[in-house]
Amino acid sequence: MREVPRHRFVPQSQLAHAYDDRPLPIGEGQTISQPYIVALMTELARVKPGDQVLEIGTGSGYQAAVLAQMGVKLFSIEIIEPLAKRAKATLAALGYSKNVEVRHGDGYAGWPEHAPFHAILVTAAPPTIPEPLKQQLRVGGRLIIPVGKRYQSLLKVTRTEEGFRQETVIPVRFVPMTGEAQGE
Report which of 137, 162, 147 is spatially closest to residue 46, judged by C-alpha positions: 137
Known catalytic residue at 33: yes
The rounded percent of the chain whose pLDDT value lies above 70 is 99
pLDDT above 70 (res 113) = yes
Other C-beta atoms within 10 Å of 13: how many?
10
Report pLDDT for 62. Answer: 97
> What mean pLDDT do residues 127-154 have?
97
pLDDT above 80 (res 91) = yes
Report which of 109, 10, 126, 123 is spatially closest to residue 57, judged by C-alpha positions: 123
Sketch the domain layout of the chain as residue ranges. 18-183
Tell me the CB-side half-sphere exposure of residue 170, using CA atoms within 13 A. Answer: 8
| Amino acid at position 148, single letter | G
Q: Output the average pLDDT for the chain.
A: 96
Catalytic residue among 33, 60, 97, 153: 33
Report pLDDT for 63. Answer: 97
Report pLDDT for 184. Answer: 65
pLDDT above 70 (res 61) = yes
> What mean pLDDT do residues 36-51 have?
97
What is the pLDDT confidence band of residue 183, given thresholds at 50, 70 and 90?
Answer: confident
Q: What is the CA radius of gyration of the chain?
A: 15
C-alpha 28/C-alpha 31 separation (Å) is: 9
Homologous superfamily in CATH for domain 18-183: Vaccinia Virus protein VP39 (3.40.50.150)
